[in-house]
């Protein structure tokens, strides 16, 4: 067994102390002081030597002689099995005679402490249309303006931005290729939304994509008469909601809060200078963003 670096004695020094006491006539106190241990400890080594011989002077394992909870592994297996069969933790504890907190610890270790952990996880439900233009998904993302950048940018936590207002990121996503057409507009009123749809349809038409169906949420701009009258005859109806089982958002938050006009710190993320560079290259459309690549 490896000795600790700060150990006061070792088997050899203990044997020397025992020899000095039993053969040299030393007192136990003097022999203990000679090797740097207490008198009480010296008496213990003497007792071990008389009972076990030289083997008694070696270090022993710190493992206990008896394991009072040696049956715990069987209880853990039983508790986990009962839990997977749908039993509550309090019932398992009562029937096994184990504290509720102990059963909870076992179940957390096994990852089945919650009822939702016992339910079968549904695989990701991704939908994709067969051809470009079969479905266009429209959505919006509200972006807050600010007069002064906050602590994440300049380390000042008392920045005030009263009445800075908002801008709205309008998104039109083509479902088959995941190509997106986006514009940052001042609001999401019915007229603004209808005009954005016309520009989005024109953009996809220039790309050789003819829209056949729209998918929107139940926002008031999309339910307005002006918006419903804006699609051309090739889009007879506008679907509301999302396909069953789909929980994805087709309007990702690509841009942070946007500074209001006149903000001087143009190099900060979200400032007019930063936003212009983020949404222009390589498309160079003021206030708009086109993503021709697939978003997966």
| pLDDT tens-digit readout, 88-141 | 999 999 999 989 998 999 999 999 999 888 888 888 777 788 888 888 889 999
pLDDT in tens, 58-92: 888 877 777 666 567 888 999 999 999 999 999 99
The DSSP output letter for 53 is G
pLDDT at 181: 92
pLDDT, greater one: 14 or 256 = 14
Q: SS3 for 275?
A: helix
Residue 267: which region, alpha, beta or left (left: phi > 0; alpha: psi -120 to 50)?
A: alpha
Over residues 187-191, the mean pLDDT reads: 90
Q: DSSP 3-state helix, strand, coil percentages of the chain (rounded to 5)?
A: 40, 15, 50
**Arithmetic mean of pLDDT over the chain:** 77
pLDDT in tens, 205-221: 998 888 888 888 888 88
pLDDT at 235: 58
The DSSP output letter for 19 is H
Over residues 30-39, the mean pLDDT reads: 91
Q: Which of 140-144, 176-180, 227-231 has the lowest mean pLDDT?
A: 227-231
Cα 103 versus chain centre, distance: 26
pLDDT at 156: 76
pLDDT, greater one: 292 or 35 = 35
Q: SS3 for 103?
A: helix
**Tokens linked to 222:** 């999309």
In angstroms, the CA 213 to CA 224 distance is 17
Neighbours of 183 (CB within 10 A): 22
């Amino acid at each position: 067994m490896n000795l600790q670096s700060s150990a006061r004695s070792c088997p050899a020094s203990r044997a020397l102390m025992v020899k000095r006491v039993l053969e040299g006539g030393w007192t136990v106190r003097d022999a203990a002081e000679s090797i740097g241990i207490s008198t009480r400890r010296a008496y213990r080594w003497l007792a071990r030597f008389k009972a076990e011989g030289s083997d008694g002077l070696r270090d022993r394992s710190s493992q206990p002689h008896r394991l009072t909870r040696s049956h715990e592994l069987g209880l853990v297996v039983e508790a986990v099995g009962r839990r997977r069969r749908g039993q509550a933790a309090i019932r398992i504890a009562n029937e096994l005679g184990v504290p509720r907190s102990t059963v909870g610890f076992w179940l957390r270790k096994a990852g089945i402490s919650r009822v939702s952990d016992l339910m079968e996880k549904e695989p990701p439900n991704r939908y994709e249309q067969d051809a470009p233009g079969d479905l266009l998904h429209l959505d919006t993302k509200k972006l807050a303006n600010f007069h002064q950048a906050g602590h994440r940018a300049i380390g000042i936590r008392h920045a005030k931005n009263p009445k800075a207002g908002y801008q709205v990121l309008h998104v039109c996503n083509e479902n088959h290729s995941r190509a997106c057409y986006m514009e940052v507009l001042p609001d999401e009123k019915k007229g603004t939304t209808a005009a954005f749809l016309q520009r989005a349809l024109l953009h996809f038409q220039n790309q050789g994509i003819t829209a056949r169906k729209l998918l929107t949420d139940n926002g008031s701009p999309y339910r307005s008469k002006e918006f419903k009258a804006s699609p051309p005859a090739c889009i007879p109806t506008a679907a509301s909601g999302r396909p069953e089982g789909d929980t994805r958002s087709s309007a990702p938050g690509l841009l942070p809060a946007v500074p209001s006009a006149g903000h001087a710190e143009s190099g900060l993320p979200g400032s007019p200078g930063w936003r212009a560079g983020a949404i222009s290259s390589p498309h160079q459309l003021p206030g708009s963003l086109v993503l021709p690549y697939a978003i997966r």
